[in-house]
């Protein structure tokens, strides 16, 4: 160990495999070390302050300095730092958090299963879909459908559901029995002159054709994020979920709503399912569940599924699934406090109050020569970069235009990232109107910087 360098940056390069990072580039540029935070801002080890444009990873909904969350964690750490919930054991924070989630659920839900991450909650949902169909004597009904550009996680099964090629390529994914249907991105995929309603009808009839081709008796579940955030902040076209759910119902296919990003106020309702009229059988939540101060996720299940689980235990015994840290009492105590704060400060009303200013700001950025479409809802939005506003042609991926825009934003004091052709914004939900104006002004400068750079490269 003695020959190891002692600067933090050099140690990072030498020791860490960074998630979702170009590892070769990282060896050149090193880490960006974040050391502190206050409200919607974070500070790096050079003392530079930034607006956290993505609330970390779409998760720190109450910002970076909420004392009540720290106190909730400290209280629980002093009382009982860890206990599990296997084999009938339980802890008070887990019990109370489950109760609160069921009270807040957008549709009647019966029980809650806790895990540590969004991926684990969705992975559990996949296993429950299979377990449920085995239990009710339909072992052939196992296929699961998600959408191209969906994001549901990175475990073997959830990365398979994720509809992004770079999550499959080179990882030998997807696994069997996972199907991907159309992405409901109206601006990009609608035919010329097609209305949102007609686009929704076409996509849902494609879905029905897929179900019929596979055999409805083999299709078990459909996973959907109310807004597909990581795939490009894709809001559903009008009537899409209404038509989609009619088809799922017709063929007895379960709906799992992935509320990992949309949950807890982000879209201007407590759940994205309320904003877009989803009536799911299971709901996965994570991220803002604890305002990201502790890792925790939850899967809510309805009465039909919960009854089948119970019945199955009567027949075969133990329900053999669970994570050591599922419902960790410190994480549960923090999540319970976060949900209490959301209710006390009425975070939903705040998002509804400031959301229009945020969406106006983003749409104004959409007039920039580099942007094809600016879209979003509540306090989440994205900018799609195009080479040609009329033909909607994107830039060649090798030019890394959105990636450069992310870097210019960082220079202008906003942390966000280019992802494919997108730069997204999803700040802490406590953001004020003045802070929104500041964020948009900085992004305008970052877009102008990107344009100058693109011109200097001869791209424009």
Mapped onto helix, strand or coil, the DSSP state of residue 428 is coil
Which backbone phi and psi does 270 adopt, to 5 degrees?
-60, -40
Among 97, 109, 125, 229, binds ligand PMP (CB under 6 A): 229
Which part of the chain contacts ligand PMP (CB under 6 A), choosing from 35-43, 86-94, 118-126, 166-174?
118-126
Smallest gap, in angstroms, from Cβ of residue 310 to ligand PMP? Answer: 27
Binding mask 140-159 for ligand PMP (x = CB under 6 A): -----------xxx------
Both tokens of residue 308?
């089948």
Smallest gap, in angstroms, from Cβ of residue 373 to ligand PMP? Answer: 20
Q: Categorise residue 51: left if φ over 0, alpha if ψ from -120 to 50, beta otherwise.
A: beta
CA 165 to centroid of chain Cα atoms? 17
Residue closer to ligand PMP (CB basis): 57 or 173:
57
Residues 368 and 426: their CA atoms lie apart, in Å, by: 20
Which part of the chain contacts ligand PMP (CB under 6 A), choosing from 255-263, 327-335, 362-370, 417-425?
255-263
Residue closer to ligand PMP (CB basis): 53 or 408:
53
Binding mask 31-60 for ligand PMP (x = CB under 6 A): --------------------------x---
Residue 261 found at the interface with ligand PMP (CB under 6 A): yes
Cis upstream peptide for 174 (omega within 30°): yes
Nearest position to ligand PMP, beta carbon: 118
Q: Which of 80, 27, 65, 56 is nearest to 426 (CA)?
A: 56
The answer to whether 121 and 152 have CB atoms below 8 angstroms apart is no
Residues 169 and 160: their CA atoms lie apart, in Å, by: 11
Among 76, 85, 124, 230, binds ligand PMP (CB under 6 A): 230
Residue 258 found at the interface with ligand PMP (CB under 6 A): yes
Residue 417 found at the interface with ligand PMP (CB under 6 A): no
Bridge partners of 341? none
Both tokens of residue 139?
């072992």
The answer to whether 207 and 223 have CB atoms below 8 angstroms apart is no
Look-up of token digits 């999540």: 335
Q: Number of residues interacting with ligand PMP: please give it, by CB under 6 A.
A: 15
Total residue count of the chain as it appears in this document: 460
Residue 382 found at the interface with ligand PMP (CB under 6 A): no
Residue closer to ligand PMP (CB basis): 153 or 372:
153
Q: Which positions lie near ligand PMP, rule CB under 6 A?
A: 57, 117-119, 122, 151-153, 225, 229-230, 258, 260-261, 286
């Amino acid at each position: 160990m003695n020959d190891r360098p002692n600067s933090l940056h050099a140690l990072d390069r030498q020791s860490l495999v960074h998630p979702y990072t170009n590892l070769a580039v990282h060896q050149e540029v090193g880490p960006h070390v974040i050391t502190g935070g206050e409200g919607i801002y974070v500070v790096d080890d050079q003392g530079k302050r930034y607006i956290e444009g993505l609330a970390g990873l779409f998760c720190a909904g109450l910002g970076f300095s909420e004392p009540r969350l720290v106190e909730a964690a400290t209280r629980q750490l002093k009382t009982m730092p860890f206990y599990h919930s296997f084999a009938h054991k339980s802890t008070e924070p887990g019990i109370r958090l489950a109760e609160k989630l069921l009270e807040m659920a957008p549709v009647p839900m019966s029980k809650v299963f806790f895990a540590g991450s969004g991926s684990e909650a969705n992975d559990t949902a996949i296993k429950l879909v299979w377990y449920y169909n085995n239990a009710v004597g339909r072992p052939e009904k196992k296929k699961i459908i998600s959408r191209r550009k969906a994001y549901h996680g990175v475990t073997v099964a959830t990365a398979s559901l994720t509809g992004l090629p770079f999550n499959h390529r080179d990882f030998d994914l997807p696994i069997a029995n996972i199907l991907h249907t159309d992405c409901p991105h109206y601006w990009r995929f609608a035919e010329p002159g097609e209305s949102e309603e007609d686009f929704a009808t076409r996509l849902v009839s494609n879905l029905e054709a897929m179900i019929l081709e596979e055999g409805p008796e083999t299709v078990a579940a459909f996973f959907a994020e109310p807004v597909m955030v990581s795939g490009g902040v894709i809001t559903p076209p009008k009537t899409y979920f209404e038509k989609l759910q009619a088809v799922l119902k017709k063929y007895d296919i379960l709906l799992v709503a992935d509320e990992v990003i949309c949950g807890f106020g982000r879209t201007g309702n407590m759940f994205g399912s309320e904003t877009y009229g989803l009536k799911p059988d299971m709901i996965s939540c994570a991220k803002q569940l604890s305002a990201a101060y502790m890792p925790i996720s939850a899967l809510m299940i309805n009465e039909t599924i919960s009854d089948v689980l119970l019945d199955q235990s009567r027949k075969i015994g133990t329900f053999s699934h669970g994570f050591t840290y599922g419902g960790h009492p410190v994480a549960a105590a923090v999540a319970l406090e976060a949900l209490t704060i959301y209710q006390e400060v009425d975070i939903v009303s705040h998002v509804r109050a400031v959301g229009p200013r945020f969406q106006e700001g983003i749409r104004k950025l959409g007039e920039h020569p580099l942007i094809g479409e600016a879209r979003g809802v509540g306090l989440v939005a994205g900018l799609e970069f195009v080479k040609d506003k009329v033909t909607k042609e994107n830039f060649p991926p090798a030019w890394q235009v959105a990636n450069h825009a992310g870097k210019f934003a960082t220079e202008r004091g906003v942390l966000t990232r280019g992802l494919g052709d997108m730069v997204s914004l999803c700040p802490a939900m406590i953001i004020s109107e003045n802070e929104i104006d500041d964020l948009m002004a900085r992004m305008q400068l970052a877009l102008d910087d990107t344009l100058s750079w693109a011109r200097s490269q001869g791209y424009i």
